[in-house]
Amino acid sequence: MSWFNLFKANIRKEYIEMIRYFPNTAALLLTFYIIFLATFFGIMFIGDPASFDANVQYSIVSVGFWSLTMMTMNFIGFTIVSEAMRGTLEQLYMSPMGVWKIMLTRIIGQFVLQFIVMIILLFAAMLTSGQWMNLNPMTSVPIIIVTMVSMIGISFMIAGLAIIVKQIEAFLQIFQFVLMALVFVPLSVAPFLALAPFVKGVNMVRTVMMENVTLTDIPTSDYGILLLNSLVYLVIGLVVFHRCEKFAMKKGLLGQY
């Protein structure tokens, strides 16, 4: 029950902030839509006409996932910085639930809201381009949920860094371009990227949407690789976060900004 109450409180908090600061939310959505338009018109004017449809569909899915991964994976880092600026970071550590549990429920709530934003972005992009793909929620949603686990792991790594150094905005700005590269580069070109977080899941969902495959059409080995990848990054992320916490407490950095 305590987990449920914590999750309910945090998803309510994220929803209220998203609505209360709606101009910021709308600006984020508009930014990603403009990036898609730039990609779309670039493909239209200088792309190969023979592969136009496939390239546009690839761009639609990639931009949608880039928005989802960037907002989700950077979220805890921004939250730590924000809490430190407000002087409320130490108050979180007074909670009997533990900070990592609070952050975990916050990022799940944020993921749910950002997933809705991604769906809106996908439909806007498909409407603009006239390229309608099969979203196939019975197949794509389970893959996205498992993929999210690795995103959470990376988020905790970033949060651990934020606890110690506080100012990480420049790093996160650079990191968003790294995420773009990971999302847009196909595994067929760089198979070793399957070892990176979330890349395998994005590739699988892209295949589902573009080729209209189902859960049973995807090899079992792909599911195994995706699950193992997500669990490994989650464990590493939590370990890094807890070690950064201990270091910050030992050096008295929690109350500093």
Q: Name 25's Cβ contacts closer than 8 Å, sequence gap at least 6.
A: 18, 19, 117
CA distance 80 to 74: 10
- Mean pLDDT confidence for 125-143: 83
Could you tell me which of 31, 73, 123, 69 has the C-alpha nearest to residue 237? 73
Which range marks the domain in which residue 200 is found? Answer: 2-251
> In this model, does residue 19 exceed pLDDT 90?
no
For the chain, give the mean pLDDT.
Answer: 82
- Predicted local distance difference test score (pLDDT) of residue 227: 93
User: Is 256 contained in some domain?
Assistant: no
Q: Give the pLDDT band (50/70/90) at residue 239.
A: very high
Q: What are the pLDDT digits (tens) for 35-79?
A: 887 777 777 666 666 677 788 888 888 888 888 888 887 777 778
pLDDT surpassing 70 at residue 256: no
Is the confidence at residue 238, as pLDDT, over 60?
yes
* Spatial separation of the C-alpha atoms in residues 183 and 202, rounded to whole Å: 7
Task: Report pLDDT for 234.
Answer: 93
On whether the CB atoms of residues 159 and 241 are closer than 8 A, the answer is yes
pTM of the model: 0.84
Residue 114 — pLDDT band, cuts 50, 70, 90? confident
The Cα-based distances of 209 to 59, 126, 199, 205, 225 in angstroms read 12, 12, 15, 6, 20
What percent of the chain shows pLDDT beyond 90? 8
Q: Is position 109 within any domain? A: yes
The CA distances from residue 55 to 14, 114, 195, 256, in Å, are 35, 24, 25, 48
Q: Cα–Cα–Cα angle for 120, 122, 127, nearest 5°?
A: 95
The pLDDT > 70 percentage for the chain reads 95
257 in any annotated domain: no
pLDDT at 184 over 60: yes
In this prediction, residue 174 carries a pLDDT of 82
CA dist 56 and 34 (Å) reads 14
- Domain tally, the chain: 1
